[in-house]
């Protein structure tokens, strides 16, 4: 087992707590909108909207919810419009995940009546996770409406040192990858916002409220903070650890484990023989991980009610583990061993109907070509390493810690 999490935890104060303790006086007389979700809590599990509404002289006017809704009640790619676009404890809620792509951006009418948007979102450190792009759309809308934006920072659960994967290529921008970041980007939400604003040219009036006590080497379980599901299928830090690799499964007809108690840690399909798959994966000697053959039956999502064969990913050394490489090799093994059954997802994906889901996730066509055998993997990994070296230099200007 991975015992690195047993290191002594340090007490970290998230931006929400720093704001309430040290900067609340700056909010007096302000009319505030709040972009938040279930994990927008203090270390004592008080919600951000409770904190802001209790501050003297502050008027909380509206709430904005990203994908999955304010309380995380909706599954992936499930429209929240009509459910969340109502009110909560007397405060108007605007969903930023409806039935059309345009719903991802707040309209000017949503920003009327506020002079400050406060964003408090827990990210999971992977390019695919959509909350940072909801934030970027809000920053653009606030720029155009002359509304100031404050971002309350939170830890990157995977720490701020590990970086992996290729940069998103031009032409493959989508809601699962809007900017040329690597798959595991090693930034906090506040650092993302700073890079989006300064490097990628959003140019809104932005204020960052950093954490106190967080260091880049920290994994989430070393912060002393409670883990709260930021989305329905992100139940644990272990899930977030494998997610930069196994989210790629979404672009295929394999189950990524949704509908089980270990989403993204369990993968498979009815046509997979677990022993054969695991033997092939173990032969690769991937760092920091072992695979266990298993059978499972999802209660919803792909193959709901059907018994699937597959593997569970057990991370035994998270500091050595390479989630993106692991995800690539899972796809390669499944496609090689079951070529007549393995398929790429063709259905619409995150409002995209033309480009394939796997290309959006991979940030280009290269991964699909590698799995199909028309392109070699090693040159792609070499290019990604070069891109990461350049990215590390680029991101230094935007680091807060």
Tens-digit pLDDT profile for the chain (401 aa)?
444 444 445 589 999 999 999 999 999 999 999 999 999 999 999 999 999 999 999 999 999 999 988 887 787 778 787 544 456 667 899 999 988 999 999 999 999 999 999 999 999 999 999 999 999 999 999 999 999 999 999 999 999 999 999 999 999 999 999 999 999 999 999 999 999 999 999 999 999 999 999 999 999 999 999 999 999 999 999 999 999 999 999 999 999 999 999 999 999 999 999 999 999 999 999 999 999 999 999 999 999 999 999 999 999 999 999 999 999 999 999 999 999 999 999 999 999 999 999 999 999 999 999 999 999 999 999 999 999 999 999 999 999 99
In a domain, 327, yes or no: yes
pLDDT at 258: 96
pLDDT at 146: 97
In a domain, 388, yes or no: no
Task: Classify residue 363 by burial, with Cβ atoms within 10 Å: 0-12, 13-18, 19+.
Answer: buried
In a domain, 10, yes or no: yes
Alpha-carbon distance 327 to 43, whole Å? 33
Alpha-carbon distance 358 to 372, whole Å? 12
Q: Are residues 123 and 246 in the same domain?
A: no
Instruction: Indicate the residue among 176, 193, 222 that finishes a domain.
Output: 222
Alpha-carbon distance 30 to 115, whole Å? 7
Alpha-carbon distance 51 to 17, whole Å? 9
pLDDT at 229: 97
What is the separation of C-alpha 266 from the centre of its chain, rounded to a whole number of angstroms? Answer: 18
What phi, psi does 28 have (nearest 5°)?
Answer: -60, 130
Q: Are residues 166 and 56 in the same domain?
A: yes
Element housing 369 (H / E): helix 366-372
pLDDT at 86: 57
In a domain, 376, yes or no: no
Where residue 42 sits, what CATH number does that domain have?
A: 3.40.50.12170
Query: Residue 320: which domain range?
Result: 237-364
Instruction: Indicate the residue among 364, 379, 396 that finishes a domain.
Output: 364
Where residue 356 sits, what CATH number does that domain have?
A: 3.90.1150.140
Alpha-carbon distance 251 to 357, whole Å? 5
In a domain, 140, yes or no: yes
pLDDT at 75: 78
Alpha-carbon distance 141 to 154, whole Å? 23
In a domain, 231, yes or no: no
Q: Are residues 203 and 284 in the same domain?
A: no
Beta strands in 89-199 (DSSP E): 91-95, 116-120, 148-152
Q: Are residues 126 and 11 in the same domain?
A: yes
Q: Are residues 125 and 13 in the same domain?
A: yes
In a domain, 205, yes or no: yes
Alpha-carbon distance 311 to 334, whole Å? 11
395 in Cβ contact with 195 (< 8 Å): yes
Alpha-carbon distance 285 to 66, whole Å? 39
Q: Are residues 268 and 310 in the same domain?
A: yes
Q: Residue 180 contacts by C-beta under 8 Å, 6 or more apart in sequence?
A: 167, 168, 169, 170, 363
Instruction: Indicate the residue among 222, 253, 271 that finishes a domain.
Output: 222
Q: Are residues 61 and 124 in the same domain?
A: yes
In a domain, 263, yes or no: yes
Task: Classify residue 93 by burial, with Cβ atoms within 10 Å: 0-12, 13-18, 19+.
Answer: buried
pLDDT at 73: 78
Q: Are residues 53 and 174 in the same domain?
A: yes
Q: Are residues 70 and 211 in the same domain?
A: yes
Alpha-carbon distance 200 to 341, whole Å? 41
Q: Are residues 155 and 40 in the same domain?
A: yes
Q: Are residues 121 and 216 in the same domain?
A: yes
Count the domains in the chain: 2
Q: Are residues 69 and 156 in the same domain?
A: yes
């Amino acid at each position: 087992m991975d015992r690195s999490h047993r290191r002594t935890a340090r007490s970290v104060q998230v931006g929400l707590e720093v704001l309430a303790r040290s900067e609340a006086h700056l909010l007096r007389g302000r009319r505030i909108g709040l972009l938040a979700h279930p994990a927008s809590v203090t270390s004592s599990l008080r919600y951000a909207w409770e904190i802001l509404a209790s501050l003297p002289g502050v008027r909380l006017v509206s709430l904005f919810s990203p994908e999955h809704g304010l309380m995380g009640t909706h599954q992936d790619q499930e429209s929240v419009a009509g459910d969340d676009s109502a009110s909560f404890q007397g405060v108007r809620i605007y969903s930023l995940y409806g039935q059309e792509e345009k719903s991802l951006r707040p309209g000017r009418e949503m920003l009327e009546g506020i002079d400050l948007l406060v964003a408090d979102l827990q990210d999971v450190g992977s390019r695919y996770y959509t909350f940072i792009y909801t934030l970027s759309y809000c920053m653009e809308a606030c720029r155009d409406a002359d509304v100031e934006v404050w971002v309350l920072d939170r830890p990157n659960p995977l720490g701020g040192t590990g970086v992996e994967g290729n940069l998103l290529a031009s032409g493959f921008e989508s809601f699962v990858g809007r900017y040329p970041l690597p798959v595991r980007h090693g930034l906090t939400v506040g650092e993302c916002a700073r890079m989006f604003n300064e490097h990628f040219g959003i140019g809104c009036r932005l204020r960052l409220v950093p954490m106190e006590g967080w260091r880049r080497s920290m994994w989430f379980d070393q912060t002393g903070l409670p883990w709260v599901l930021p989305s329905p299928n992100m139940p644990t830090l272990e899930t977030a650890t494998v997610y930069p690799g196994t989210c790629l499964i979404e672009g295929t007809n394999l189950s990524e484990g949704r509908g089980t108690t270990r989403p993204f840690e369990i993968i498979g399909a009815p046509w997979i023989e677990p022993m054969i798959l695991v033997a092939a994966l173990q032969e690769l000697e991937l760092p920091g991980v072992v695979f266990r053959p298993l059978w499972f039956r999802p209660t919803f999502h792909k193959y709901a009610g059907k018994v699937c064969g597959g593997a569970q990913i057990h991370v035994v050394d998270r500091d050595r583990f390479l989630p993106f490489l692991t995800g690539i090799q899972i796809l390669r093994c499944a496609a090689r061993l079951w070529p007549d059954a393995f398929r790429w997802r063709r259905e619409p994906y995150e409002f995209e109907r033309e480009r394939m889901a796997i290309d959006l996730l991979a940030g280009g066509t290269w991964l699909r070509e590698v799995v199909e055998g028309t392109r070699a993997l090693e040159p792609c990994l070499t290019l990604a390493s070069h891109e990461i070296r350049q990215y590390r230099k680029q991101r230094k200007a935007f680091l807060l810690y």
